Structure 1
């Protein structure tokens, strides 16, 4: 670990100690961490089926919450263990099972994009008129 990172961590610990001594400031800090962590976690949950770092965002949100809440730390450890076990299980599966999972994920992504109206918006940009591209809820 580099010296500047070590100094930054020590500085952060000192500031957190000062915040913990004042009950009102500590409560405001914990509420802020809870709100930010919950927002990041919710964004990660929404992003899970889409290509990109959905699970990374989920673990980041849990990590933010775990910095202040013991329950979040336990949940983070549990979720990381289950995620790692699921990845190992998936690696051991036949290519057809892996492909079926990939097709299922693709169907979820395409279905949610259709419901959210993305296809209708794109069709409007290129002046394509078809009823099936329009969202059923919009």
Structure 2
């Protein structure tokens, strides 16, 4: 497959393996297996990082990018993800949406501070699990 750019300015889909690897079917299949295994290890590491400290989603997308060097399905997933992130960024930068987000965040912080004040006023600076009834 061609690895140049298509008419929309996006990279064409398909393998980005060197030409000498794509020329030999067994070598290309071995290359694809290697790319899949490395990508799988990176994605698995990202999944492990989701509940633990670490950049889980970033690592998962890194693994997807590794897969996208060889597999069309991963390239399509990354294109879709990039479109959605660009869309969300554009929406978040809209002044009306920013104003709404700031208002909602401020209201949430005021409510949280009021609840914390009520708690401290009633129980003092005691952890909730150490309160004796």
Q: TM-score, normalised by structure 2?
A: 0.51
Task: Determine the C-alpha separation between the residues in 2 that align with 1:80 and 1:35.
Answer: 24
Count how many residue pairs are aligned between Structure 1 and Structure 2: 86
- What does 1:1-138 correspond to in 2, within 5 Å? 16-83=18-85, 85=87, 92=98, 93=101, 94-95=104-105
Aligned with 2:64: secondary structure? Answer: helix
Shift of 1:42: 2.1
2:70 aligns to what SS in structure 1? coil
Name the CA distance, whole Å, in 2 between partners of 1:52 and 1:88: 27
Distance between the aligned counterparts of 1:87 and 1:31, measured in 2?
35
**Largest Rg, 1 or 2:** 2
**TM-score scaled by length of structure 1:** 0.49
Larger helix share, 1 or 2 = 1
RMSD, matched Cα? 3.1
- Greater RCO (Cα-Cα under 8 Å, separation 6 or more): 2
